[in-house]
Amino acid sequence: MTVHAVTIWGEPVLHRRAAEVTEFNDELRALIEDMHETNDAANGVGLAAPQIGVGLRIFVYKYKNDDGVPPRGVVVNPRLTLTKVPGTAPDPEEDEEGCLSFPGESYPLKRADWAHVEGFDGDGKPVDFIATGWFARVMQHEYDHLDGKLYIDKLVDRYARKAKKAAKKNGWGVPGLTWMPGVDPDPFGH
């Protein structure tokens, strides 16, 4: 297993729709193991393949939940069905989100409280579960990566301006920037 560098906002693979996985083979299973290893080293709750430079519709997660879903898993070619996202303003304390590809920064974002997740595991077997609360947030966050969106693309204006300033200050928004989990300092201080 290999820990991969995490791409930072501005890397083209993060900003385009990822391709469907068409073959379930040893190469795919090795990629999934590498993604779990990278997510663990980064102290993440989830990691999408584009975040390690691979434009495929795969994400892994590690999140203890109350939904009866194993706390560690993978979803290949996921489909999400969501409840409506509340129209209220995001709560700066309750709705704060971060992203390994926008390292060290956190901003509030409203998400649906419920998600029906369907897809496949690394062997091509169906995956089908309901995620609620923060687990639903994790699912939505990772799924967005597969459509070329980061959570900062969905922020309300006030927080979008702050994210833009942070990106400028850090020199992000250009290709080729990464950070290495387990080598570079943890951007979220875990």
Q: Is residue 31 part of a domain?
A: yes
H-helix segments, 48-156: 133-146
| Residue 190 clears pLDDT 90, i.e. is over it | no
> Which residue among the candidates 11, 37, 105, 142 is catalytic per the annotation?
142
Segment 122-136 shows an average pLDDT of 98
Q: Is residue 159 part of a domain?
A: yes
Q: Is residue 189 part of a domain?
A: no
What is the C-alpha to C-alpha distance for residues 96 and 163, in angstroms, rounded to an integer?
13
Q: Is residue 185 part of a domain?
A: no
The tally of domains found in the chain comes to 1
What is the C-alpha to C-alpha distance for residues 13 and 177, in angstroms, rounded to an integer?
12
End-to-end alpha carbon distance in the chain: 22
Please, which pLDDT band fits residue 181 given cuts at 50, 70 and 90? Answer: very high
Q: Is 141 within any annotated ligand binding site?
A: yes
Q: Is residue 76 part of a domain?
A: yes
Q: Is 36 within any annotated ligand binding site?
A: no
What CATH number is attached to the domain comprising 78?
Answer: 3.90.45.10
Quote the pLDDT of residue 77.
98
Domain that holds residue 170: 6-179
Q: Is 37 a catalytic residue?
A: no
Average pLDDT, the chain: 97
- The torsion defined by the Cα of 35, 28, 69 and 144, in degrees rounded to 10, comes to 70
What is the C-alpha to C-alpha distance for residues 61 and 134, in angstroms, rounded to an integer?
12
Please, which pLDDT band fits residue 61 given cuts at 50, 70 and 90? Answer: very high
Q: Is residue 107 part of a domain?
A: yes
CA distances from 178 to 11, 61, 139 (A): 9, 20, 23
Segment 154-172 shows an average pLDDT of 97
Please, which pLDDT band fits residue 1 given cuts at 50, 70 and 90? Answer: confident
Judge contact between 33 and 1, C-beta under 8 A.
Answer: yes
What is the C-alpha to C-alpha distance for residues 13 and 129, in angstroms, rounded to an integer?
28
Please, which pLDDT band fits residue 139 given cuts at 50, 70 and 90? Answer: very high
Quote the pLDDT of residue 113.
97
Q: Is residue 190 part of a domain?
A: no
Counting beta carbons within 10 angstroms of the beta carbon of residue 126, is it exposed (0 to 12), middle (13 to 18) or buried (19 or more)? exposed
